[in-house]
Structures are given as structure tokens and as C-alpha cells.
Amino acid sequence: MSLYDWLTPAGNTRQQHGKFTELRSEMILKTVERLEVRIGERFPDSGLLKVCMEFRTLAHDSNTLAQRLGPPIWPVRVFAFAAAFLLVGLVMWALGQLVTHFSLNAEGISDLVQSAESAINELIFLGLALFFLVGLETRLKRHSALRALHRLRSIAHVVDMHQLTKDPAYVLGRLVQTNASPHRTLTRSELTRYLDYCSEMLALIAKIAALFAQNIDDPVVLNAVNDLEQLTQGLSGKIWQKIMILDLAERDDRQH
């Protein structure tokens, strides 16, 4: 085993066991494409199909971005290290000049006190500058990932809006239609499939979001992904309540 393997055991394990311990983005994208085909076959004129088509494009874009954000951004990293090296070198040069020109007398001690006060301010500025440079790459990745996650969160709400008016009580004959009621034409089986497609799309949205947490080791991105997963689970839970109502009603009809 090489020194690199000893220093990075997690990375070595990832290379050996990544097949079943990582999300495979190509399989997720194929599932999204298959879902679009399935919705198109059953509901070719529905708004849900248009949402899924847009989600497919967004899924491909998000996967491309997540893969690109995984490796280091070398131009940014080289610039940050070069700037940090120059700053540290400038401080070392200033200290060298101070030691060279220092003389042990009243005037020299006075200059030393003034220089020390100025050096403290410069060290504070140096620390802030180094903190900014070291975290520059992470902040750039975080900004791009959060922007993509925001789009995924928005489309999750759009999916929820499409299932909002799909009330099982209407197909079960327990809802009186009014002039302001939405136009409902789905049968019981069609409504079940429609709701199931919405739930599947929400699950896939969460899986696309998880690609960012898999490729970017950043707590802010991880928290955003977890929040999106909780959102999709909550929305999907409401959908499955409707599906269970339809399923229980169908069982009662069979028994009677």
C-alpha cells in the first residue's frame, strides 16, 4: 500500500467500493427519461408531461454541474495559493526588514513599538485575506450548487401544484361539483397513476439533489440537500394519502 493510500483511506475505499455505495447518475437520468415516456403514453396532453420534460432537462444540467463541481477548480486553487504565498512572503519580508534595521536604543525601541502596533493590524488583515483565499473555491462551488438546488426546489413545488386539485373524493362520487370547481376528467385508475407519477418525480428530484451532496463536501450544501429531501418526502406523503384512499375504496368496492 502506498503512502497516499495510508493518508487517504476514504478515497481508496471509494474507488474500490463505489459501484454500490454511490448514486449512479446515468441510471437516475435513464429513470427520469423513462418516467417522461410513461407520462406521455398515458397523459400526452397533460401539464405534468411538460413539467417532466423540463425536469429532464434540469436533471441533465444538474448532473453535469455536480460532476464538474466534484474535482478541484485548479485555476481558482492555484490563484488562491499563489496569492496566499505572496501575502505570507510579504509579511516575512517586512519582518526581515524590521530585524535588519532595528537598533537597540531609545529611537529604535520607539520604532519597534510603532511597528508592532502596525504589524498587529497587518496580521489581522492577513488572516482575513488568507481565510477568504482558502475558502474561495468552496464558496464558488457552494454558490453554483445552491442555485441549482433552488431550481430543483421550485420544480418540486410545481409538481405539488399539479396534484393539488386531484381530489379522490371526486372520482369516488363524494364531492359535489360547483361552477368554480376545477375541471376533472380522470377516472379512478387514471388518477392513481397520475398521483403515482407525481410521487415518482418528487423522489427523482431528491435523488438529483443528492448528487450535489455526493460530489461536494460542504456542510451548507449538505443541509440544503437534506432540506430538499424533507420537502419532497412531505409532498410525497400527501400524495400517498390520496393513493391509499383510492386503494381502500377499490377494496371496499370489491368486497361489496
Q: Which among 73-87, 101-115, 228-242 has the top mean pLDDT?
A: 228-242
Within 8 A by CB and 6+ apart from 69, the residues are: 141, 144, 145, 212, 215, 216
Measured distance CA(245)–CA(183) in Å, rounded? 21
Report pLDDT for 43: 93
Measured distance CA(136)–CA(142) in Å, rounded? 10
Sequence ranges of the domains in the chain:
24-70+138-176+183-255, 75-134
CA torsion, points 102, 107, 113, 119, in degrees to nearest 10?
-50
Q: Which of the two residues, 223 and 106, has the higher pLDDT score?
A: 223
Write out pLDDT tens, residues 211-231: 999 988 889 999 999 999 999
Measured distance CA(197)–CA(240) in Å, rounded? 11
Write out pLDDT tens, residues 29-88: 999 999 999 999 999 989 999 999 999 999 999 999 999 888 776 676 677 777 777 767
Q: Which of the two residues, 199 and 255, has the higher pLDDT score?
A: 199
Report pLDDT for 175: 61
Report pLDDT for 252: 67
Measured distance CA(208)–CA(234) in Å, rounded? 17
